[in-house]
């Protein structure tokens, strides 16, 4: 009987050890993507995938289920308002009808804000928001997209508010 208790304690100890090692290997929360070339950083969920263009001007952060994304674009030679108008035309060219919800200048860090809905060729309605920041050197555009009914399930506001210029 005494040996059984000894083995039970060893077994429970082993299970605790395995669980603590597994728990240490599983990350949750956010990590930081930094683009040194264009001088910005942003937090994104650990489970998301990051794809960056060869020239570094585009960074796509895709949710694990591939149903939501944030795209960061860096360009030159446009005002925030011009970039917002061009972005709206671009979304319209890609998806057809776009319902513009808001299109306005902002106070604070972001210079311009755009929100819109659009329907894909699979008859799914997506919601998107785009934020524009103009500096002396570059224009930064961050746009979000997800199914309209699922939009609030993604941490877009955390990601947008974490965007920082270096």
**CATH assignment at residue 152:** 3.40.1000.10
Question: Is residue 92 assigned to a domain?
Answer: yes
Domain with 82, as residue range(s), is 27-165
> What is the DSSP code (8-state) at residue 123?
S
In angstroms, the CA 72 to CA 138 distance is: 12
Structural contact between residues 94 and 86, judged by C-beta atoms closer than 8 angstroms: no
Reduce the DSSP state of residue 120 to 3 states and report it: coil
Question: Which pTM was predicted?
Answer: 0.81
CA angle 67, 73, 76 (to 5 degrees): 165
pLDDT for the residue numbered 6? 60
Structural contact between residues 40 and 164, judged by C-beta atoms closer than 8 angstroms: yes
| pLDDT score of 24 more than 70 | no
Question: Is residue 43 assigned to a domain?
Answer: yes
Residue 81: count other Cβ atoms within 10 Å of its Cβ.
16
In angstroms, the CA 77 to CA 116 distance is: 24
Question: Is residue 20 assigned to a domain?
Answer: no
**Number of independent structural domains in the chain:** 1
Structural contact between residues 161 and 44, judged by C-beta atoms closer than 8 angstroms: no
Question: Is residue 22 assigned to a domain?
Answer: no
pLDDT digits (tens, 9 = 90+) for 43-76: 999 999 999 999 999 999 999 998 899 999 999 9
> What is the DSSP code (8-state) at residue 151?
G
């Amino acid at each position: 009987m005494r040996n059984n208790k000894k083995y039970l304690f060893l077994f429970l100890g082993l299970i605790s050890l395995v669980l603590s090692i597994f728990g240490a290997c599983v990350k949750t929360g956010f990590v930081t993507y930094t683009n040194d070339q264009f001088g910005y950083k942003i937090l994104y969920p650990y489970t998301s995938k990051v794809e960056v263009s060869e020239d570094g001007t585009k960074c796509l952060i895709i949710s694990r289920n591939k149903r939501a994304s944030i795209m960061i674009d860096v360009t030159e030679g446009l005002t925030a308002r011009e970039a917002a108008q061009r972005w709206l035309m671009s979304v319209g060219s890609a998806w057809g009808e776009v319902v513009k919800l808001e299109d306005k200048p902002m106070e604070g860090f972001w210079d311009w804000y755009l929100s819109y809905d659009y329907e894909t060729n699979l008859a799914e309605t997506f919601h998107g928001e785009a934020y524009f920041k103009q500096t002396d050197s570059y224009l930064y555009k961050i746009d979000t997209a997800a199914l309209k009914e699922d939009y609030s399930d993604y941490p877009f506001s955390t990601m947008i508010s974490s965007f920082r210029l270096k």
